[in-house]
Structure 1
C-alpha cells in the first residue's frame, strides 16, 4: 500500500487593491498563483512569506505585521495529487511590485469566471472566499 503524500505546506499573501487580488505566474506555468511559497527549515509562516515577497516581488514586509487570514486546503497544482495546506496572510509591504526570480508575470484578478479560470485551484478558492465577503469584486 502506498503511503499518502504529506501536504505541501505553503504561505500566501493576500494583496487586494481596488477590489482586485494580486496573482503571479511562474516561468513555465500557464496558470496563476498567489504570491508566496514554501517554508524553509526553521522559518515561521510570516518569516517565510516576507522572504518570498522580497525574493520574488522585490517588496519588503515585516513578519511582525503579517497576520494569518485563513487556511486553504486543496490539491497542489502540478504536484501529482499532493495535498496543499496554504496559510494566507494579510499585511503591508513597501516597494514597487516587480516580477523577479521565477515570477514571469503579475496580474490583478477579479472573482469573475474569466479570471478564476486562469488560476490554480487554491487561487480559485481564495477568489470565491474574498468575493463572498466583498473584498474582491466579481
Structure 2
C-alpha cells in the first residue's frame, strides 16, 4: 500500500474548524501539506501554513494532536493518506494565498464537504464536544 505523508494544522474557534479549498478542487482540506526532504514536522507545517494562509505559527505553542489514516482523496483505491495533525497559536491575519482559493470555518454539519481523513477527524472532534 502506498502512503502519502501529510501534516495538518487543526485550528478550532467557537466550535468551528478552519478549512481550505484549493483551486480546482471541490472538497475542503485542513491546511498543511507534505514535507520537503529533511524537514521536521514543525518546519514543514509552519512553511505550508505561511504559504497557504499568510500567518506564522508560534513555535512554543505547537502541540501534537494526533495521526489519522484513510483512503487518499482523488487517488486510486489502496493509496492511503497519513495525516499527522498539530494545534498551535498563530500571528497575523488568515487569508487565502498560493494554491488556496477559499478559507472557511466549518461545523460538523459540513462533514460531507471534506476529505475522508478529515471526516475521521470531524467525527473525533464531534465526539469530544469540540465541534458544533
Which residue does 1:35 correspond to in 2? 31
Which residue does 1:107 correspond to in 2? 104
Give the Å deviation of 1:64: 4.2
Q: Is 1:46–1:64's contact at 8 Å kept on the other side of the alignment? A: no
Q: Is 2:58–2:91's contact at 8 Å kept on the other side of the alignment? A: no
What is the total number of aligned residue pairs between the two structures? 131
Matched, 1:119 2:114: yes
Q: Any stretches of 5+ residues in structure 2 without a counterpart?
A: none
SS of the equivalent of 1:42 reads coil
CA distance in 1, matches of 2:9, 2:17: 10
Q: Which runs of 4+ in 1 moved over 2 A?
A: 62-65
Q: Any stretches of 5+ residues in structure 1 without a counterpart?
A: none
TM (norm. structure 1) is 0.91
User: Aligned match of 2:85 in 85, 88, 93?
Assistant: 88
Task: Provide the aligned C-alpha RMSD in A.
Answer: 1.0
